[in-house]
Amino acid sequence: MKTLKTLLLVAISLVASAAFAQQAAQPWNYKTKQLNRAEIDALLAKPEQVLVLDVRRPDELISKGSFPAYLSIQTTDVEKSLGYIPKDRTIVTVSNRAHRAGAVGDLLSSKGFKVAGAAGSLDYEDQGGKVARIQPPQPKAAAN
């Protein structure tokens, strides 16, 4: 039984490693710059000038974390939500590995927004950065 558990753990590790390598090897096909940790930190040091736009689903925000303050608009809703995005701030778009963020950055740039670049929250963490972890609300106890 112990050997079976060990084999399962090794198999899961290999699959996860392969998935990560495949995702990391995805080519960058966006006009929007892919930001590294130092560039993100420099932008976040000027909170009055920057807007972090996180384009992930709520479950991803909870499981992966995000930057301390951000505007959350899912990728599919960005175009119909342009009126809620301030044009007087430099925008950093965020997703897990920056690919959705890159696509949204390209869209925003084409609409006249000032986009500094795209960030991957997981990439940021891989480079030593810290993201905020969001705790979902606890379910309410059923009334008896």
Q: Check whether 124 has a pLDDT greater than 80.
A: yes
- pLDDT for 72: 96
51-54, Cβ contacts within 8 angstroms, sequence gap of 24 or more:
51/85, 51/86, 51/89, 51/90, 51/91, 51/92, 52/91, 52/92, 52/94, 53/78, 53/85, 53/91, 53/92, 53/93, 53/94, 53/104, 53/108, 54/93, 54/94, 54/95, 54/121
79 pLDDT band, cuts 50/70/90, is very high
- pLDDT for 68: 84
Q: Check whether 2 has a pLDDT greater than 60.
A: no
Q: Model's pTM, two decimal places?
A: 0.78
Which structural domains are found in the chain, ordered by start?
Answer: 25-126 (3.40.250.10)
